[in-house]
Amino acid sequence: MKYLNHITEAIGNTPLVKLNKVTEGIKATILAKVEYMNPGNSVKDRMAIKMIEDAEKAGILKPGGTIIEGTSGNTGMGLALAAVAKGYKCIFTLSDKQGQEKIDILKAMGADVIVCPTDVTPDDPQSYYSVAKRLNKEIPNSFYPNQYDNLSNTAAHYATTGPEIWDQSEGKITYFATGVGTGGTVSGISRYLKEQNPGLVTVGIDTYGSVFKKYKETGIFDEKEIYPYATEGIGEDILPKNVDFDLIDTFIKVADKDGAVMTRRLAREEGLFVGWSSGSAVHGALEYAREHLTENDTMVVLLPDHGTRYLAKIYNDNWMRSKGYID
Protein backbone atom coordinates (compact mmCIF):
# COMPACT_ATOMS: atom_id res chain seq x y z
CA MET A 1 0.00 0.00 0.00
CA LYS A 2 1.17 3.53 -0.77
CA TYR A 3 0.27 6.06 1.87
CA LEU A 4 1.73 8.83 4.05
CA ASN A 5 2.03 8.41 7.80
CA HIS A 6 0.86 11.98 8.29
CA ILE A 7 -0.13 14.91 6.10
CA THR A 8 3.18 16.68 6.83
CA GLU A 9 4.93 14.05 4.69
CA ALA A 10 3.13 15.58 1.69
CA ILE A 11 5.15 18.80 2.01
CA GLY A 12 7.36 19.61 -0.99
CA ASN A 13 7.79 18.45 -4.58
CA THR A 14 5.48 21.18 -5.88
CA PRO A 15 5.28 21.66 -9.67
CA LEU A 16 6.80 24.19 -12.05
CA VAL A 17 4.11 25.59 -14.36
CA LYS A 18 4.78 27.69 -17.46
CA LEU A 19 3.08 31.09 -17.60
CA ASN A 20 1.59 31.67 -21.05
CA LYS A 21 -0.79 34.65 -21.22
CA VAL A 22 0.37 37.21 -18.65
CA THR A 23 3.85 37.02 -20.21
CA GLU A 24 2.79 38.49 -23.56
CA GLY A 25 5.71 40.23 -25.26
CA ILE A 26 8.36 38.42 -23.21
CA LYS A 27 10.52 35.98 -25.16
CA ALA A 28 12.10 34.30 -22.13
CA THR A 29 10.56 31.21 -20.53
CA ILE A 30 8.75 32.18 -17.30
CA LEU A 31 7.95 29.32 -14.93
CA ALA A 32 5.95 29.47 -11.70
CA LYS A 33 6.84 27.36 -8.66
CA VAL A 34 3.33 26.66 -7.38
CA GLU A 35 3.71 26.40 -3.61
CA TYR A 36 -0.01 26.26 -2.82
CA MET A 37 0.26 22.58 -3.72
CA ASN A 38 1.73 21.99 -0.25
CA PRO A 39 -0.84 20.54 2.21
CA GLY A 40 -1.15 23.83 4.11
CA ASN A 41 -1.49 25.66 0.79
CA SER A 42 1.69 27.69 1.15
CA VAL A 43 5.46 27.72 0.91
CA LYS A 44 5.62 28.22 4.68
CA ASP A 45 4.85 24.54 5.32
CA ARG A 46 8.47 23.77 4.48
CA MET A 47 10.10 25.98 7.07
CA ALA A 48 7.42 25.42 9.72
CA ILE A 49 8.11 21.68 9.98
CA LYS A 50 11.87 22.35 9.85
CA MET A 51 11.73 24.86 12.72
CA ILE A 52 9.75 22.43 14.87
CA GLU A 53 11.95 19.42 14.13
CA ASP A 54 15.12 21.40 14.81
CA ALA A 55 13.67 22.67 18.10
CA GLU A 56 12.80 19.11 19.11
CA LYS A 57 16.33 17.93 18.35
CA ALA A 58 17.76 20.79 20.41
CA GLY A 59 15.46 20.01 23.34
CA ILE A 60 13.82 23.43 23.14
CA LEU A 61 10.38 22.04 22.29
CA LYS A 62 9.22 19.29 24.63
CA PRO A 63 6.18 16.96 24.56
CA GLY A 64 2.91 18.71 25.38
CA GLY A 65 4.42 22.13 24.66
CA THR A 66 2.81 25.22 23.19
CA ILE A 67 4.01 26.83 19.95
CA ILE A 68 3.68 30.63 19.98
CA GLU A 69 4.40 32.61 16.83
CA GLY A 70 3.75 35.95 15.17
CA THR A 71 2.53 35.27 11.65
CA SER A 72 0.76 36.78 8.66
CA GLY A 73 -1.16 33.50 8.52
CA ASN A 74 0.71 31.04 6.34
CA THR A 75 3.52 30.17 8.77
CA GLY A 76 0.83 29.68 11.39
CA MET A 77 -0.93 27.18 9.15
CA GLY A 78 2.29 25.23 8.61
CA LEU A 79 3.02 25.21 12.33
CA ALA A 80 -0.57 24.15 13.06
CA LEU A 81 -0.26 21.16 10.71
CA ALA A 82 2.92 20.06 12.42
CA ALA A 83 1.39 20.66 15.86
CA VAL A 84 -1.58 18.43 15.06
CA ALA A 85 0.78 15.70 13.89
CA LYS A 86 3.01 15.96 16.95
CA GLY A 87 0.54 16.83 19.71
CA TYR A 88 1.39 20.47 20.48
CA LYS A 89 -0.85 23.46 21.24
CA CYS A 90 -0.64 26.66 19.20
CA ILE A 91 -1.10 30.37 19.89
CA PHE A 92 -0.66 32.79 16.99
CA THR A 93 -0.52 36.57 16.89
CA LEU A 94 -1.54 38.35 13.66
CA SER A 95 -1.73 41.99 12.61
CA ASP A 96 -5.19 43.36 11.99
CA LYS A 97 -4.53 43.87 8.26
CA GLN A 98 -4.66 40.11 7.69
CA GLY A 99 -7.82 38.72 6.13
CA GLN A 100 -10.50 37.05 8.24
CA GLU A 101 -9.99 33.86 6.23
CA LYS A 102 -6.52 33.44 7.69
CA ILE A 103 -7.83 33.82 11.23
CA ASP A 104 -10.68 31.36 10.62
CA ILE A 105 -8.33 28.79 9.04
CA LEU A 106 -5.97 28.88 12.03
CA LYS A 107 -8.88 28.51 14.45
CA ALA A 108 -10.18 25.59 12.40
CA MET A 109 -6.83 23.89 13.02
CA GLY A 110 -7.31 24.26 16.77
CA ALA A 111 -5.09 27.30 17.32
CA ASP A 112 -5.78 30.30 19.54
CA VAL A 113 -5.47 33.56 17.59
CA ILE A 114 -4.71 37.03 18.96
CA VAL A 115 -5.20 39.98 16.58
CA CYS A 116 -2.87 42.95 17.14
CA PRO A 117 -2.77 46.47 15.63
CA THR A 118 -0.76 46.98 12.43
CA ASP A 119 0.00 50.66 12.78
CA VAL A 120 2.48 50.42 15.67
CA THR A 121 6.26 50.06 15.75
CA PRO A 122 7.72 46.54 16.01
CA ASP A 123 8.90 47.14 19.59
CA ASP A 124 5.52 48.50 20.73
CA PRO A 125 4.04 46.21 23.44
CA GLN A 126 0.90 45.83 21.27
CA SER A 127 2.70 44.70 18.11
CA TYR A 128 2.25 41.10 17.07
CA TYR A 129 5.99 40.57 17.48
CA SER A 130 5.96 41.85 21.08
CA VAL A 131 2.82 40.00 22.13
CA ALA A 132 4.24 36.67 20.88
CA LYS A 133 7.51 37.25 22.75
CA ARG A 134 5.66 38.18 25.95
CA LEU A 135 3.44 35.09 25.84
CA ASN A 136 6.50 32.90 25.31
CA LYS A 137 7.98 34.26 28.53
CA GLU A 138 4.73 33.88 30.47
CA ILE A 139 3.60 30.40 29.34
CA PRO A 140 5.58 27.42 30.69
CA ASN A 141 6.91 24.82 28.23
CA SER A 142 6.34 27.10 25.24
CA PHE A 143 8.40 27.60 22.08
CA TYR A 144 8.69 30.82 20.06
CA PRO A 145 10.02 29.82 16.61
CA ASN A 146 10.62 33.44 15.53
CA GLN A 147 10.53 32.79 11.80
CA TYR A 148 12.27 36.10 11.10
CA ASP A 149 15.54 35.26 12.85
CA ASN A 150 15.40 31.46 13.05
CA LEU A 151 17.88 30.23 10.44
CA SER A 152 16.05 26.89 10.18
CA ASN A 153 13.78 28.93 7.89
CA THR A 154 16.57 29.46 5.35
CA ALA A 155 17.90 25.91 5.85
CA ALA A 156 14.54 24.39 4.88
CA HIS A 157 14.61 26.03 1.47
CA TYR A 158 18.28 25.31 0.88
CA ALA A 159 17.55 21.63 1.53
CA THR A 160 14.28 21.28 -0.40
CA THR A 161 12.96 24.11 -2.57
CA GLY A 162 16.27 25.07 -4.14
CA PRO A 163 17.17 21.53 -5.27
CA GLU A 164 13.63 21.00 -6.57
CA ILE A 165 13.82 24.11 -8.77
CA TRP A 166 17.26 23.16 -10.07
CA ASP A 167 16.20 19.61 -10.92
CA GLN A 168 12.84 20.57 -12.42
CA SER A 169 14.43 23.21 -14.65
CA GLU A 170 17.22 20.77 -15.57
CA GLY A 171 19.71 23.44 -14.55
CA LYS A 172 18.45 25.87 -17.20
CA ILE A 173 17.24 28.49 -14.72
CA THR A 174 19.09 31.82 -15.14
CA TYR A 175 16.84 34.11 -13.04
CA PHE A 176 14.93 33.52 -9.82
CA ALA A 177 12.27 35.90 -8.47
CA THR A 178 10.33 35.80 -5.22
CA GLY A 179 8.70 38.06 -2.68
CA VAL A 180 10.81 38.86 0.38
CA GLY A 181 9.30 38.86 3.87
CA THR A 182 11.08 36.83 6.54
CA GLY A 183 13.82 36.17 3.97
CA GLY A 184 14.13 32.42 4.44
CA THR A 185 12.65 31.53 1.07
CA VAL A 186 14.77 33.89 -1.02
CA SER A 187 17.98 33.24 0.91
CA GLY A 188 17.76 29.45 1.08
CA ILE A 189 16.78 28.97 -2.55
CA SER A 190 19.17 31.59 -3.86
CA ARG A 191 22.13 30.17 -1.96
CA TYR A 192 21.53 26.71 -3.41
CA LEU A 193 20.93 27.93 -6.96
CA LYS A 194 23.96 30.23 -6.96
CA GLU A 195 26.14 27.33 -5.79
CA GLN A 196 25.04 25.44 -8.90
CA ASN A 197 25.21 28.49 -11.21
CA PRO A 198 27.18 31.48 -9.85
CA GLY A 199 25.84 33.61 -12.69
CA LEU A 200 22.21 33.20 -11.62
CA VAL A 201 20.43 36.48 -10.84
CA THR A 202 18.03 36.69 -7.89
CA VAL A 203 15.29 39.35 -8.01
CA GLY A 204 13.65 40.18 -4.68
CA ILE A 205 10.10 41.54 -4.81
CA ASP A 206 9.44 44.25 -2.22
CA THR A 207 6.48 46.53 -1.57
CA TYR A 208 6.12 50.27 -1.02
CA GLY A 209 6.21 50.89 2.73
CA SER A 210 8.99 48.33 3.28
CA VAL A 211 12.68 48.94 4.02
CA PHE A 212 14.33 46.21 1.94
CA LYS A 213 15.02 47.89 -1.41
CA LYS A 214 16.62 51.03 0.00
CA TYR A 215 18.66 49.03 2.51
CA LYS A 216 20.02 46.83 -0.30
CA GLU A 217 20.96 49.84 -2.41
CA THR A 218 22.34 52.15 0.28
CA GLY A 219 23.00 50.10 3.42
CA ILE A 220 20.75 52.55 5.28
CA PHE A 221 17.80 51.43 7.40
CA ASP A 222 15.52 54.38 6.67
CA GLU A 223 12.50 54.63 8.94
CA LYS A 224 11.04 57.18 6.52
CA GLU A 225 10.51 54.29 4.11
CA ILE A 226 8.12 52.64 6.57
CA TYR A 227 4.41 53.29 6.21
CA PRO A 228 1.28 51.11 6.18
CA TYR A 229 0.63 49.03 3.08
CA ALA A 230 -2.10 46.54 2.25
CA THR A 231 -0.19 43.69 0.56
CA GLU A 232 0.13 40.69 2.87
CA GLY A 233 3.17 38.47 3.28
CA ILE A 234 6.00 40.55 1.77
CA GLY A 235 8.02 43.56 2.90
CA GLU A 236 9.06 44.37 6.46
CA ASP A 237 9.68 47.23 8.86
CA ILE A 238 12.56 45.25 10.39
CA LEU A 239 15.66 43.48 9.03
CA PRO A 240 15.18 39.75 9.72
CA LYS A 241 18.34 37.68 10.13
CA ASN A 242 17.07 35.35 7.42
CA VAL A 243 17.38 38.07 4.77
CA ASP A 244 20.86 37.64 3.26
CA PHE A 245 21.21 40.73 1.08
CA ASP A 246 24.38 39.35 -0.52
CA LEU A 247 22.24 36.64 -2.14
CA ILE A 248 19.70 39.09 -3.61
CA ASP A 249 21.02 40.90 -6.68
CA THR A 250 18.30 43.50 -6.97
CA PHE A 251 14.90 44.51 -5.59
CA ILE A 252 11.76 45.56 -7.47
CA LYS A 253 9.02 47.37 -5.54
CA VAL A 254 5.42 46.59 -6.46
CA ALA A 255 2.42 48.73 -5.49
CA ASP A 256 -0.56 47.19 -3.68
CA LYS A 257 -2.85 47.76 -6.68
CA ASP A 258 -0.47 46.24 -9.25
CA GLY A 259 -0.04 43.11 -7.13
CA ALA A 260 -3.78 42.79 -6.59
CA VAL A 261 -4.66 43.16 -10.26
CA MET A 262 -2.03 40.61 -11.34
CA THR A 263 -3.31 38.17 -8.71
CA ARG A 264 -6.74 38.19 -10.37
CA ARG A 265 -5.18 37.91 -13.82
CA LEU A 266 -3.29 34.78 -12.77
CA ALA A 267 -6.57 33.15 -11.75
CA ARG A 268 -8.51 34.17 -14.86
CA GLU A 269 -5.76 33.84 -17.48
CA GLU A 270 -3.50 31.08 -16.13
CA GLY A 271 -5.85 29.07 -13.90
CA LEU A 272 -3.60 29.75 -10.91
CA PHE A 273 -5.79 30.63 -7.92
CA VAL A 274 -3.10 32.33 -5.88
CA GLY A 275 -2.71 34.88 -3.09
CA TRP A 276 -1.85 38.57 -3.18
CA SER A 277 1.93 38.29 -2.81
CA SER A 278 1.97 35.84 -5.73
CA GLY A 279 0.51 38.57 -7.92
CA SER A 280 3.11 40.99 -6.62
CA ALA A 281 5.89 38.51 -7.36
CA VAL A 282 4.73 37.93 -10.93
CA HIS A 283 4.14 41.64 -11.62
CA GLY A 284 7.62 42.55 -10.40
CA ALA A 285 9.28 39.60 -12.12
CA LEU A 286 7.69 40.43 -15.49
CA GLU A 287 8.61 44.10 -15.12
CA TYR A 288 12.23 43.02 -14.66
CA ALA A 289 12.05 40.37 -17.40
CA ARG A 290 10.85 42.80 -20.07
CA GLU A 291 13.97 44.89 -19.59
CA HIS A 292 16.65 42.28 -18.88
CA LEU A 293 15.79 38.79 -20.16
CA THR A 294 16.38 37.31 -23.63
CA GLU A 295 14.82 34.35 -25.40
CA ASN A 296 17.65 32.19 -24.04
CA ASP A 297 16.73 32.86 -20.41
CA THR A 298 14.56 30.91 -17.99
CA MET A 299 13.08 32.65 -14.95
CA VAL A 300 11.38 30.86 -12.07
CA VAL A 301 8.90 32.91 -9.99
CA LEU A 302 7.78 31.48 -6.67
CA LEU A 303 4.04 31.69 -5.91
CA PRO A 304 3.73 31.47 -2.11
CA ASP A 305 0.09 30.71 -1.32
CA HIS A 306 -3.52 30.04 -2.31
CA GLY A 307 -6.42 32.31 -3.18
CA THR A 308 -8.68 30.97 -0.43
CA ARG A 309 -6.81 33.26 2.00
CA TYR A 310 -8.06 36.32 0.09
CA LEU A 311 -11.69 35.68 -0.83
CA ALA A 312 -12.96 38.74 1.06
CA LYS A 313 -10.31 41.01 -0.47
CA ILE A 314 -8.64 40.30 -3.81
CA TYR A 315 -11.47 38.12 -5.12
CA ASN A 316 -14.25 40.39 -3.85
CA ASP A 317 -15.27 42.97 -6.45
CA ASN A 318 -16.74 45.37 -3.89
CA TRP A 319 -13.55 45.36 -1.80
CA MET A 320 -11.41 45.86 -4.91
CA ARG A 321 -13.57 48.82 -5.96
CA SER A 322 -13.43 50.33 -2.47
CA LYS A 323 -9.64 50.39 -2.75
CA GLY A 324 -9.70 51.82 -6.26
CA TYR A 325 -8.00 48.74 -7.67
CA ILE A 326 -10.72 48.11 -10.31
CA ASP A 327 -13.37 50.32 -11.91
Active-site residue list: 44
**Cα 325 from Cα 92, distance rounded (Å):** 30
**Cα 259 from Cα 325, distance rounded (Å):** 10
The residues pairing with 253 across neighbouring beta strands, listed in sequence order, are 206
* SS3 labels along 35-67: HHHCCCCECHHHHHHHHHHHHHHHCCCCCCCEE
Task: Note whether 154 and 244 are within 8 A (CB).
Answer: yes
Quick count: other Cβ atoms within 10 Å of Cβ 120? 15
What 3-state DSSP class applies to 177?
strand
**Cα 311 from Cα 323, distance rounded (Å):** 15
Quick count: other Cβ atoms within 10 Å of Cβ 172? 14
Task: Note whether 85 and 105 are within 8 A (CB).
Answer: no
